[in-house]
Chains A and B, each alone.
Chain A
Amino acid sequence: MKLGLAIDLDTCVGCHACATACKQWNTSGAIGPLTDENPYGKDPDGAWLNRIRTFEIDASPHSKTVNMPLSCMHCEDAACVTVCPTGASYKRSEDGIVLIDQDRCMGCNLCSWACPYGARELDPGSGTMKKCTLCIDRIYDQQLPENERQPACVITCPTQSRVFGDYDDPDSDVSKLNRQRGGKQLMPELGYNPVNTYLPPRNPIQQEQGGSVLGKVKHIVNRIIKR
């Protein structure tokens, strides 16, 4: 198995619900807590496993706003694992999930230096490195109904921009989406072969002019929405 996420940059609205759900689930999950420093002050800081950046693509008037959630890509060739001196970082052979053994980590930060995606953050409380576990304590939980055995971020996403699945299975949702939409890896030139893919925004469908009355109404409504 090669578990990972496909993230739809076309439909992501940048609501940060995935990041919040992630924090909520994982702070009491397998690698928790996710400590915060000064949480109610003016400069709160703490370990988050998922962060959302917002970019402007191209220049006005053709610009497009794209929200890009970034979490661990569970790279096939994960440098964060090979640089780890204590053996705390490891990649599971059965499903490809990259994890950190909190009992072995000495907090040297080297894995966070080796990660190009900023997916690893040092917990100011425990002094150990924290990262996305793909909600390992959810996806294999036999107590949960089958449709809930997914990462917290995927379940919570209001626009279903996050899809979880097995990239080794050509008929899984993530594999199909990746094929159909031309999913992209981030910074492929570094050669870490990240598993997660990002589905680029689609081109707007050209509306036919004229035709039926319903078509005209649709065209007018589309124009209003576009503004």
Chain B
Amino acid sequence: MHPAFSVLIFTITSGAGYGLLGWLSANELFALWPLSIMAKITIGITAMVLISVGLSASTWHLANRKNAWRSFSGFRTSWLSREAVFAIVLYPVATMYAAGLYFGWPYIGLWSGLCLLLCLVIVFVTSMIYASLKTIPQWHTPLVPTLYLLFAIMSGGLAWAIMLTWNGLDIANFNHSLALIVAVTASVKLGYFVWFRLPATSSIQSATGFTQHRVSLLDAGHSAPSFLNKEFMFDVEQVKLVRLRWVMFIATFVIPLSVLYWIPTSMTLLGAWLVMMAGLLIERWLFFAEARHVVRLFHGQQKV
């Protein structure tokens, strides 16, 4: 699959934003760390900025943006529409939470609880846009929503840890819990790499109906790359992919985990978060570049 840069930016920044807002809301619900009201509001605004940057990036890849407002209508069947609806619903809920904090209104637990729930739901719904596609075997797995949720909790959690240190709070035990989350996410991602080597059910034989014979492409029927080629025939050398996987793994998991475990100061954590986000950008790029759509079978690929 062709990795659209706007979609990569969208999923990682808004993922981190939903994660951060989720941690903030969880803190409100379970009273984990004592933070001043202004600190909470600042963190909330930071999260909403990350989310909004991501969401606006997601509209760049639309070819006909003037109809984007219509994307709320397919709610009953479309995961993309559900994402749009929940993403918009979060804004008034988050505003009510912030206003409640500022003016000291009651039912703050209700609004923060709703915020937490919505953050998790939105990340899950976003991942289901990909996981629901049977045409892309590498995406059609429960591992995809699991990973998206873990990535949001992990990158948002690291941002949350930075916010805590900035507000002069001790993160003595939290850094170990967070390191554990990073380790769990890393192992699920490793599992994903192992899983997606398994062959898919569709082949050039099932695509052409000649199930008893060897089938090969003689001619694709066009002299220059078409929309289908550009969208689905994205190819990178295997060597390069493997190298990028290593870079991704070190940046996303190894460096942040080491920093969290050994040197968790506010500045090192910020550096670790930036490295993690860069790693996640590569991770999301690989998520697209390594996904193989079944249309490739009609272009001569034997298996997807």
One digit per residue, 1 when the CB lies within 8 angstroms of any chain B CB and 0 when it does not, for chain A 88-111 equals 100000000000000111111110
Q: Are B227 and A200 in contact (CB under 8 A)?
A: no
Residues of B within 8 A of A103 (CB): 67
Chain A: interface residue total (CB-CB under 8 A): 62
Instruction: Out of B61, B79, B207, B299, name the residue touching A186 (CB < 8 Å).
Output: B207
Q: Are B219 and A54 in contact (CB under 8 A)?
A: yes
Q: Are B294 and A116 in contact (CB under 8 A)?
A: yes
Q: Are A82 and B206 in contact (CB under 8 A)?
A: no
Query: Which residue of chain B has its CB nearest to the CB of A51?
Result: B221
Q: Which of B192-222 contact A (CB under 8 A)?
A: 201-202, 206-210, 213-222
Give the interface centre of B65, B67, B84 by most chain A CB atoms within 10 Å: B67
- Tier of interface size on chain B: 35 or more
Q: Are B202 and A83 in contact (CB under 8 A)?
A: no
Instruction: Out of A45, A106, A124, name the residue touching B225 (CB < 8 Å).
Output: A45
Distance A112 CA – B80 CA, assembled complex (angstroms): 14
Q: Are B64 and A106 in contact (CB under 8 A)?
A: yes
Distance A121 CA – B229 CA, assembled complex (angstroms): 11
Q: Are A43 and B224 in contact (CB under 8 A)?
A: yes
Residues of B within 8 A of A59 (CB): 214
Distance A43 CA – B134 CA, assembled complex (angstroms): 32
Closest Cβ–Cβ distance, residue A202 to chain B (whole Å): 14
Whether a CB of chain B sits under 8 angstroms from the CB of A215 is no
Q: Given contacts A85-B80, A108-B62, A127-B64, is CB(A118)–CB(B201) below 8 Å?
A: no
Distance A47 CA – B217 CA, assembled complex (angstroms): 22
Whether a CB of chain B sits under 8 angstroms from the CB of A133 is no
One digit per residue, 1 when the CB lies within 8 angstroms of any chain A CB and 0 when it does not, for chain B 81-122 equals 100100000000000000000000000000000000000000
Q: Majority SS of interface residues in chain A?
A: loop
Distance A196 CA – B228 CA, assembled complex (angstroms): 21
Instruction: Out of A53, A128, A200, name the residue touching B220 (CB < 8 Å).
Output: A53
Binds B, one of A23-31, A64-72, A140-148: A64-72
Residues of A within 8 A of B219 (CB): 14, 53-54
Whether a CB of chain B sits under 8 angstroms from the CB of A164 is no
Q: Are A51 and B218 in contact (CB under 8 A)?
A: no
Closest Cβ–Cβ distance, residue A31 to chain B (whole Å): 14
Q: Given contacts A83-B77, A104-B67, is CB(A45)–CB(B224) below 8 Å?
A: yes
Closest Cβ–Cβ distance, residue B242 to chain A (whole Å): 26
Distance A68 CA – B218 CA, assembled complex (angstroms): 11
Q: Are B216 and A51 in contact (CB under 8 A)?
A: no
Whether a CB of chain A sits under 8 angstroms from the CB of B46 is no
Q: Are B134 and A191 in contact (CB under 8 A)?
A: yes
Whether a CB of chain A sits under 8 angstroms from the CB of B70 is yes
Query: Which residue of chain B has its CB nearest to the CB of A43?
Result: B224
Whether a CB of chain A sits under 8 angstroms from the CB of B129 is yes
Name 10 A/B residue pairs within 8 A (Cβ), A-sorted: A16-B221, A54-B217, A54-B219, A57-B214, A84-B77, A113-B1, A116-B202, A121-B228, A187-B207, A187-B297
